[in-house]
Amino acid sequence: MAASAKPPTASLSWNKLLPSSPFATALVSFPRRRNRSAKTVFVVAVSSGAKPTVLVAEKLGEAGISLLKEFANVDCSYNLTQEELCTKISLCDALIVRSGTKVTRDVFEASSGRLKVVGRAGVGIDNVDLAAATEHGCLVVNAPTANTIAAAEHGIALLAAMARNISQASESVKAGSVVKAFCPSAKVKFVSDLVYSFARKWQRSKYVGVSLVGKTLAVMGFGKVGSEVARRAKGLGMHVIAHDPYAPADRARAIGVELVSFDEALATADFISLHMPLTASTSKVLNDETFAKMKKGVRIVNVARGGVIDEEALVKALDAGIVAQAALDVFTVEPPPTDSKLVSDERVTVTPHLGASTMEAQEGVAIEIAEAVVGALRGELAATAVNAPMVPAEVLAELKPFVELAEKLGRLAVQLIAGGSGVKSVKVTYASARAPDDLDTRLLRAMITKGLIEPISSVFVNLVNADFTAKQRGLRISEERILLDGSPESPLEFIQVSGDSKFFVQIANVESKFASAISESGEVKVEGKVKDGVPHLTKVGSFEVDVSLEGSLILCRQVDQPGMIGKVGSVLGEENVNVSFMSVGRIAPRKQAVMAIGVDEPPSKDALKRIGEIPAVEEFVYLKL
Ligand SMILES: NC(=O)C1=CN([C@@H]2O[C@H](COP(=O)(O)OP(=O)(O)OC[C@H]3O[C@@H](n4cnc5c(N)ncnc54)[C@H](O)[C@@H]3O)[C@@H](O)[C@H]2O)C=CC1
Ligand SMILES: O=C(O)C(=O)COP(=O)(O)O
């Protein structure tokens, strides 16, 4: 029985999904089906409180700075030492860096929880300690697309420059040579009186290059940059092969590139161009052993990261004649040390990490990262999140009431457990007519985790750190799908509007402080649905109830007999507690029943005591949602 219903709320602070934001409240209007095409679902209201502070630690394009300034106080402080960065960071809500700043664990620790977003104005995030960011609930976003072409063009520029000795020849012509010194008069006393004759060097035979046409180029890492390099190299008449364990074969085929194994790429390439990220598995992937597998005279281009090459091994491979030339934009340590053998080797062409440095790319990257950082600070889920799920706005809008339901079911479940020490194993079952692939449960799982952990700890759980926090606390969450009959119009519409979808949380092997929450199978079980956009509790243990999950809740088991609703209701009325919703579920007439009562205000201890003293009441519990 549903006694009353409040109008559905249409707003939710998405900041609770992301690192908490003290200054902005992001309200989400969730569209009905007919509004699905709306591009954005976010209505953002920034509170009148202090503006957030964004520290820009490396040069960023003006367009990006202007965008940031519309929303935040912007502190552009370049060339900070690690110590200075750690000092400043405790006053900053966001940090924007390029490849030159190391965002280490120390930085997150020094921020004391204030740092909510790190924006990497570029692709590679190897300079950000992602594990530390995640553990601190700090979102990391990057700008993955705006510098792709710039990096690919730089790769091609290095390839051609290396093959034709451009930088060496240019240096030689410019440097020229002193051919002789003579004394213009017999009275010369000082060296400065000598006149030097300067001649241009014109070493045409020394700098004969090699042709690219018809040669085999192995692109290692067939992602955004790698595939653009491949496309351009094909235009130069090269035979292009690629190695990338994760790249789809059809994408390679579409460009006319053959995907090959790592060893085959090494063994057949005349040129090797590196385009994979620096990770634990790509670190020093070119080393003594792998250089030994290469064709003699191979030429290597690296616009990825210095760390993917063992630089000492490259020096040896050059000396052994395995590698004829190399062109490097990136180094293990940047800038490389003054005694770097690689830099001083004439066969090696070098640039100071210029891959992304075109006017166009830097403007694009600045805008891309500024938008991502501002969006994240506003509480929106970032499309370029590196350590959190990327959920499209439309999906978010549809999932919104379920996200709320998920957190509340988690909160209810953990509060129903005796002892307050939480749970170790939770099973979440999602019932939906959507095919499993059409239902992204990461958000829901994060919110259940939040609901399960926050009421019993001081840990702040958000979308970034939910899985980490669960793991750290030894909480295992398993997920199961029940596929309902029906044919959803689209993967997500059905969940939001049909009211047929439901999910329940089961917690095994625990004692409940409300024994009725234990189902026939011995598990604490709560189940909920979304009705008209509002989360409802529909089952507690084996009892069917129907109460909107707003405010707080009293669950009460009693003997099913006339007058019980009135008795409990009048206790609450006398205590000035407003009842928002009430529902009774029973096993059979005149047997046991569970009453779920939604209350706007927390009842006093006295009110709860009086409810407990009603003779037919067998047990009851007050739960904060
Ligand atoms: N020099 C510069 O200024 C710039 C350097 N970069 C570097 O280039 C890298 C690639 O950038 P994008 O193409 O935008 O990234 P991406 O993520 O689109 O592509 C990287 C590709 O590498 C592949 N990969 C991962 N592990 C691999 C392995 N062990 N062997 C072969 N392939 C592997 C991935 O499957 C992916 O397809 C970045 O991580 C960054 O380090 C990017 C832009 C500018
Ligand atoms: O985007 C990348 O991965 C880059 O390497 C570009 O680095 P940068 O922003 O120019 O320091």
Please identify, by atom number, the ligand 1 atom nearest to the C-alpha of residue 151: 44
Cis, bond preceding 335 (omega within 30 deg of 0): yes
Q: 584 in ligand 1 pocket by Cβ < 6 Å? A: no
Please name the residue whose Cα sits nearest to atom 9 of ligand 2. Answer: 98
- What's the mean pLDDT in 159-178? 95
pLDDT of residue 8: 33
Which pLDDT tens digit goes with each residue over 491-508? 323 222 112 233 455 555
Ligand 1 centre to CA of 385 (Å) is: 16
287 exposure class (CB count in 10 Å sphere: 0-12, 13-18, 19+): middle
Of 19-33, 75-89, 145-159, 482-496, least confident by mean pLDDT is 19-33
pLDDT of residue 509: 53
Give the pLDDT band of residue 184 (cuts 50, 70, 90).
Answer: low
pLDDT at 488 over 70: no
> Which comes out higher in pLDDT, residue 483 or 293?
293
- What's the mean pLDDT in 482-487? 72
Of the listed ligands, the closest to the CA of 58 is 2
Question: Catalytic residue at 334?
Answer: yes
pLDDT of residue 394: 72
Give dist(CA 135, CA 125) in Å, integer: 16
> Which comes out higher in pLDDT, residue 251 or 153?
153
pLDDT of residue 485: 74
Output the CA–CA distances (angstroms, integers) from residue 251 to 183, 277, 370, 473, 553, in the order listed: 69, 19, 30, 42, 54
Number of alpha carbons in the 13 Å side-chain half-sphere of residue 372: 28
Please identify, by atom number, the ligand 1 atom nearest to the C-alpha of residue 227: 13
Catalytic option among 58, 109, 312, 334: 334
What number is the ipTM of this complex? Answer: 0.99
Q: 98 in ligand 2 pocket by Cβ < 6 Å? A: yes
Q: 529 in ligand 1 pocket by Cβ < 6 Å? A: no
Strands (E), 233-369: 239-243, 258-259, 271-274, 298-302, 323-328, 348-350
Which pLDDT tens digit goes with each residue over 522-579? 667 888 888 888 888 888 777 788 888 888 888 888 887 778 788 888 888 888 888 8
Output the CA–CA distances (angstroms, integers) from residue 334 to 61, 146, 483, 540, in the order listed: 22, 23, 54, 60
Say what the pTM is. Answer: 0.76
Tokens of 84: 């200075």
pLDDT at 326 over 80: yes
pLDDT of residue 188: 63
Which pLDDT tens digit goes with each residue over 64-96? 999 999 999 999 999 999 999 999 999 999 999
pLDDT of residue 43: 22
Closest to 447 in 3D by CA, of 505, 499, 496: 505
| Residue 296 near residue 266 (C-beta atoms within 8 A) | no
Please name the residue whose Cα sits nearest to atom 1 of ligand 1. Answer: 355
Ligand 1 centre to CA of 375 (Å) is: 25
Q: 247 in ligand 1 pocket by Cβ < 6 Å? A: yes
pLDDT of residue 583: 80
- Which amino acid belongs to residue 137? G
Helix-then-strand count for the chain, H and E: 19, 26
Beta carbons within 10 angstroms of residue 450's beta carbon: 26
- What are the strands of the beta sheet with 139-142, ordered from one edge? 73-76, 53-56, 94-97, 117-120, 139-142
pLDDT of residue 454: 84
Mutate to test the pocket of ligand 2, among 58, 98, 278, 384 (most ligand atoms within 8 A of CB): 98
Which pLDDT tens digit goes with each residue over 440-454? 788 888 888 888 888
Q: 123 in ligand 2 pocket by Cβ < 6 Å? A: yes
| Residue 220 near residue 273 (C-beta atoms within 8 A) | yes
> Which comes out higher in pLDDT, residue 391 or 166?
166
pLDDT at 143 over 60: yes
Closest to 268 in 3D by CA, of 242, 244, 246, 286: 242
- Residue 104 phi/psi, 5° resolution? -90, 175
Question: Catalytic residue at 305?
Answer: yes
pLDDT at 416 over 60: yes
Please name the residue whose Cα sits nearest to atom 30 of ligand 1. Answer: 244
DSSP 338-363: TT-HHHH-TTEEE-SS-TT-SHHHHH
pLDDT at 604 over 80: yes
Q: 356 in ligand 2 pocket by Cβ < 6 Å? A: yes
Which pLDDT tens digit goes with each residue over 219-271? 999 999 999 999 999 999 999 999 998 888 888 999 999 999 999 999 999 99
Within 8 A by CB and 6+ apart from 346, the residues are 168
User: Using N-to-C axis directions, what is the helix angle for 62-71 and 359-377, rounded to 10°?
Assistant: 20
Ligand 1 centre to CA of 277 (Å) is: 4
In total, the chain counts a number of residues equal to 625
